[in-house]
Chains A and B, each alone.
Chain A
Amino acid sequence: MELKDWRSLPIGSVVTQPGSSAETETGSWRTSRPVIDFSQCTHCMICWIFCPDSAFTVEKGKLTGVDYDHCKGCAICVVECPKKCIVMVDEPRL
């Protein structure tokens, strides 16, 4: 992302693009990732509610997966999932 000079920025550090935090990819913070076992998932959306990064993707009322560009790997979903069908898997390491 190219950084703007002071003349091109809105004053007062006002952010004029709503939801622009999505431009900041926080997926790199993660050392392990949540993986969903869809064979047991009931689509109760508890993981979606608790996720602090809004990183669960949903289509037509059904959980479809995890947005790994933003998931920080906090594992709150693993703790909260009533079916215990989310597990953390280590990111590949050398």
Chain B
Amino acid sequence: MSVEALALKLPVEVRWHGRGGQGVVTASRLLAEAALKEGLFPQSLPDFGAERSGAPLMAYTRVGREHPQERGHVLEPQVVVVLDSTLLGRVKILEGLIQGGILVVNTSASCEALVDRLQLRDLLVCTVDATGIAMKLLGRNIPNSPVLGAFLRVVPIVPLGVMEETIKERLGLRMGAKVVQANLEALHQGYQRAQVRGVAWN
């Protein structure tokens, strides 16, 4: 099934995995802000305590058509996003991910290799070499923009253009035009270079 044919059901619940400093919380927030612009009702919640740079952490995004009622951790996400593939063996990435759900992973490996290695079944799998893109465009392993691009390929709840606007505003608050531009380029490359395999989440 083509990605474009995905019939998206709302509300959608997303769990993000990454390490402190990789923009996990920012990615979750960017998705929420973009969804708000689309007239949807988002909620973005980081899940960390005393953790600092490098520590595995999570964030959650809920997007629906009504004001969110539930708060706290997302336990049964439809989408899991992994910003750092070194977490794959160390953190329970797949915990609670619903059958027929979506897994987005930042890895240079192919979808096939990932499916093989993790023994994945009944999922839509999306891989993108976000670290490669980030290293080339940003010079640092902050893979959130290309991962967001790949995410929107398989979970098109907001148009790419709206995400662009959101990135411009949010990153533009504290970063220079060059960095913002590089992130926009990274977003696009992530979207374009994402590999997708599996059956669509109905």
* Contact flag (A, B; Cβ within 8 A): no
| Chain B interface residues (CB < 8 Å from chain A) | none
| Chain A interface residues (CB < 8 Å from chain B) | none
